[in-house]
Amino acid sequence: IMESARREVELGSRVGHPRLIGLLGSFVLAAPDRPAVDGAIVLVMERASGSLRELLDAGVPEVDRGPLIAGICEGLAHLHRSGWVHADLKPENVLLGADGSVKLSDFGLATELTGTHGYAPPMGTLDYLPPERWRAPLGELGVRIRPTADIWALGIVVHEVFSSGGSPFSGATPVARGAAV
């Protein structure tokens, strides 16, 4: 959890863009009388009015679909140009501003690139993992990852937006769907 929070702070302080949720500040909670939260890292982010997942569950109006996808693409393009991979793109991590603007969020698994690739923790949301992450060997630094992992996840998200939330792969569970890839 500490590493995830560190990545959120690092990316938030170095890579600002209108399509990325803004990190307003962070602090360590000092609550010695409450050991469960003492030392917890608190991230203060800009306010969002909901997520793409909530919008999908409610039904995305057809006229809003193109701008939604364009906003996600703008955020991903900026991340990639800045040398980062999101590594956990999914509807829950696409937030919507009160004005309808799209903001990518949850950079806890984000990975900084060294050249053409980086190393991510062997985690992520199974339904959005590309085939190479399903089969990737776990090295000392994690799983090798490239920006194409985000593009794969984007394809799944686009499919969900235009198919009212359904996965493009058949299977009752995320693991079964991953095997179908």
**Helical spans, DSSP H, in the chain:** 2-14, 52-58, 65-81, 131-134, 148-162, 174-180
Please confirm, yes or no, whether 38 is among the known catalytic residues. Answer: no
- The whole-chain average pLDDT of the chain stands at 85
Range of the domain at 59: 48-180
Question: Tell me: the pLDDT tens digits for 56-80?
Answer: 999 878 768 899 999 999 999 999 9
11 within domain boundaries: no
141 within domain boundaries: yes
**Residue-level pLDDT at 95:** 96
Give 9's pLDDT tier (boundaries 50, 70, 90).
confident
* Domain count along the chain: 1
Give the active site residue among 38, 57, 88, 99.
88
CA distance linking residue 90 with residue 9, whole number of Å? 20
Q: Which pTM was predicted? A: 0.85
128 within domain boundaries: yes
Q: Which of 109-113, 144-148, 152-156, 167-171 has the lowest mean pLDDT?
A: 167-171
- CATH number assigned to the domain comprising residue 73: 1.10.510.10
CB 133 within 8 A of CB 112: no
30 within domain boundaries: no
Q: Inform me whether the pLDDT recorded for 137 exceeds 80.
A: no
